[in-house]
Amino acid sequence: MARIVVHEAKKPMEIKVGNESKWICMCGLSNNKPFCDGSHKQAQDEIEGKLYRYENGKGVVVKRLIT
Ligand code: FES
């Protein structure tokens, strides 16, 4: 079985564990899930209304969501 999951977030979510901050990946690109590893920086230049697929650290537009 396969599945495609779409993430729209471009930054992590901070959670507090005691006095310590933990950063949870919300973009789906981290290689250290559930934690952020900074990979969300790849998604900063994404254009609204387009769908991107990431392979080997590069994003490719695969579909226009809004015409
Ligand atoms: S939010 Fe996903 S790598 Fe940072």
User: Is residue 66 pLDDT above 80, yes or no?
Assistant: no
Which residue among 30, 33, 46, 54 is best mutated to probe the pocket of ligand 1, counting the most ligand atoms within 8 A of its Cβ? 30
More confident residue, 66 or 54: 54
- Asked, for residue 2, whether it belongs to a domain, the answer is no
Looking at residue 61, its pLDDT comes to: 84
- Asked, for residue 24, whether it belongs to a domain, the answer is yes
- Asked, for residue 48, whether it belongs to a domain, the answer is yes
Q: Is the CB of 27 under 6 A from ligand 1?
A: yes
More confident residue, 58 or 66: 58
Count how many domains the chain has: 1
- Asked, for residue 1, whether it belongs to a domain, the answer is no
For 27, counting Cβ atoms within 10 Å of its Cβ (0-12 exposed, 13-18 middle, 19+ buried), the class is buried
Sorting pLDDT into bands at 50, 70 and 90, what band is 67?
Answer: low
pLDDT mean over 40-44: 94
- Kindly state the tokens that stand for 35: 């934690």
Domain that holds residue 43: 13-64
The model carries a pTM of: 0.84
Phi, psi (degrees; rounded to nearest 5) at 15: -125, 150
pLDDT mean over 2-29: 95
